[in-house]
Each structure stands twice: as C-alpha cells, then as structure tokens.
Structure 1
Amino acid sequence: MTEIERPMPALNTDERATLEGWLDFHRATLAMKCQGVDDIQAATASTPPSLFTLTGLVQHMAEVERNWFRRILAGEDAPPIHDPQADPEGPDGGFDVAPGATLAEAFTTWRTEIEHARRNCAARELTDTGRFMGQEVNLRWIYVHMIEEYARHNGHADLIRERIDGVTGV
C-alpha cells in the first residue's frame, strides 16, 4: 500500500468544504489504520467476542458509501456488493470476510465507491435530497452521518489494530 496522505481539514472555510474535508480525513484515517498488516492479520477478529476485522470494516464502509451516496442520494439501483442477496433496504453489510478475500481487493472496491460518491456529490447542493425510510434526507445530513460512521468505525479499527500489533494513534 502506498503512503496515505491525511490532510487536516481547512480551519476557516465554507460549510461544504468543511464537511468534505472531515469526511476525507476520516476516509484516510481508515486507510492508515490498515496500513502495514497482511491479509491474515486484516481478516483476523482480534477483539473477541466481536467478529470485526479490518478487512470487514473496509468492506462495510464500501457498502455504506454505496448505500448513502448511490442508492439514497442518487436513487441508483446499486445492489449490495458483498452479499448480492441482501436486502438493499436493510442494514449495510460487508462485515463478513469471504475465504480468500484480500485487504487490497476490499480497498479497491472501497475506493471505487468513494469515486462514485464524489461524482454524485459534485453534481448536487447540500440542500439536494434523496429518499431514506420514506422521507427526504439532504446531502448535508448525509455528510454529517458519514463523518460519524467513519469516526465510530475508526475507533473500532484502532482497537483491532492495537490487538494485532500494538500500533495506535494514527
């Protein structure tokens, strides 16, 4: 994996740049927390009884990106990635790691979903809406939710990584 750049979000900018900056910061944080582990380590649930793994978290965040920015915001018919039979209206999956799945493959899928998200967001204003649970939800709310989603799971990734090899603080 190449060196991950994690620029600090701008301290004095407009609302959209602030939201996008913090989302990109947390995206980069997830990638940094996974840097330097092999596929076996990344697929190992290191905090029993939880089954969370680094690969599973990356897969899950690809599903979350797809759900919020493609299905909900853009109204695309985008089936779940890791469990095509799953209910697209149900909770975001991806936590289960298939035999032979690699962290590199998970990151490739995740980055593809981020690029879709960026394209879908670039064409919209913060007040533009999609449909969620029968109600309108605007892009501003989606950005805040995604920042929260990444921040929470980055905490999980930090604990998993610390159990794997003691690395913390990224």
Structure 2
Amino acid sequence: MSHGYKSNSLSWKSSDHYLWSVEEILGRGATAVVHKAVRKDNGEGCAVKVFHDRVTFHHSSVPRRELDIVTSLNHKNVIRIFGIDVDSSGIHVLGMEYCRAGSVFTQLDKPENAFGFPEEEFLRVLSDIAHGMHYLKQNGIIHRDIKPGNIMKFIDDDGR
C-alpha cells in the first residue's frame, strides 16, 4: 500500500494506529499541531492532531472529551474522527479525516481568492457550514471556535 511517503531524512513519529512526519504540518493551534499522516491498518491518508505536552499532562480530559463528542457524529459536513492513541512519549494523538484542500483560511490566502470566493463557491461553503452547524446543534454540541482556519474544505469524488 502506497501512502505517498518517501524514505528520506524526515523525522517520523508513530502510535499504534498512525504514522506521520513531524515536518508535514497541516495546522497549529493552542492545544495541538495537526500533521498529515497515514493509517497503519489500511494505508489511507489521514490527519493526526498531536496534543501539546501541557494538554496531555495537565488537561488530559481535553482529547478524551473531544473524542467522546465527535466519534459519535456522522455528517458529511463534520470531520470524521477515527480514534485516539498515545505516541511513544505518552502524548495524545487524535486520528481524523484528511481534507486535502486545506482550510478555508489557506484557500482564501491564494491569489485567485484575494477578494473572496466566487459567489457560487461562497454560497456552497456557507451552506455546508450552516448544515454542519445545524447538525451539531441538533446533537447538543456548540463549536466554540468557528473561524476560517478551523473550517476544512473537503473535495468530493465528483470534484465538489
């Protein structure tokens, strides 16, 4: 199974279920760093959210709470969470769906989007966000950090 990783000088980390390069960073936040990864069970690409030491060791309920909330969710506008692991140094790692198009923030940073998305795409993104948020609300969940960097753009097989 090819997962697109080359054997070179990259630094690798792993847990029981995931393998990732520490250099392939998809995003950074207050509680974690997200890396492009691969699932060991099937070789599929995914993302891993590697929680900072202080979160793992001082606020260990944060990853577990996030996992408990989102593993039960099933909606096309909400990122799928595969599970939680611990790496060799005891750091919590959350495996999740990989969105190859990146975040809305990275999309808006492209020169062709300097003045925002084209109207049709903007309306589609807005509709998808609204549907995802409605689903979360129906399930008693409030996402308290909605921002372009936390809204991922997923490209369906049909290119949408």
Normalised by the length of structure 1, the TM-score is 0.28
Greater helix proportion: 1
Normalised by the length of structure 2, the TM-score is 0.29
